[in-house]
Structure 1
Amino acid sequence: MELANIEQLIEKYFDGETTLAEENELRTYFSSSTVAPHLEQYQTLFQFFVREKEAQFSPSLSQKTKNKKQMIGLGLAASLVFFAGLLMFLPINSNPKKESVSTADLGQFESPEEAFEETQKALALLSSNVNVGMKSVNYISEYQNSKNLIFKK
């Protein structure tokens, strides 16, 4: 009769319907050495609860504070690293005068004829690339025409 009662209590336990007294009864049953073989799978669960209930928290962290000299040394080292990093990213200019930039660097030309020739070269390059793109559009329009012939609306 006790085994049937334990099985019913387990069912109630996993449904969340047991009282504290019934849960204590389950803990004492699974703590004993006479557990039915088909219920041994639950034994470790209830033994875990018993062990964890008895566990005590013991803080193992040391609350030792660092002395003042160490903190000052760490602050100085951090500021030294900060300023060294800052100096790495600042631009170093040995000649404080502003250097004049040549007109060739800016893409400017001396004569209008030279500018006209360069403009024609640039437009020819643009035109050739646009023509390649237009060939692709022609393929798409051919595809559309073929599709309309096959799939008539």
Structure 2
Amino acid sequence: MVLNKIEKLLEKYDDAETSLKEEAQLRAYFASDNVASHLEHYKPMFQYFSVSQKEQYTKDVPLKTNRTKLYQWISVAAVAVLMLGFLVPNMFGPTEAELKQQEEALIVYNQTKEAFKLVSIGMNEGKQQLNSLAMVSDNLNQGIEEAGRLSEFSKTTNKIFKNN
């Protein structure tokens, strides 16, 4: 009965479904001398867990706090440099050369906009002409269909008049 219980606990252990109490039972079983022969290969693993659970790290971990102060001052200096980078150009304002460049860029932008407007008007006119061609094509196709119906009508009327 004990062996069946241990085997069930091992299955639960392999599926990671055991509680701490059940794992303690397994460690106690494998620590004893009466382990079943087909479960002997589990014994070193549980012995290792028992030994490693008792291990402790006893050395002191030195903490160096001098570096954190240095990093704090570096971050303060970085923020100050960024703030100066944003504020100094705004305080003195743009120069005459920059203002002239901005005006020239605005003139070029407006000229480009006008050129695109002319191209757009030309494309719209071409589109209207294509729409006219499409309408002519539709009317032509409709006329061809009507002509086909007329020929069928004339064949039928010829049959009727020949039979009379």
TM-score by length of 1: 0.43
The structure that has the greater radius of gyration is 2
TM-score by length of 2: 0.41
Higher helix share: 2
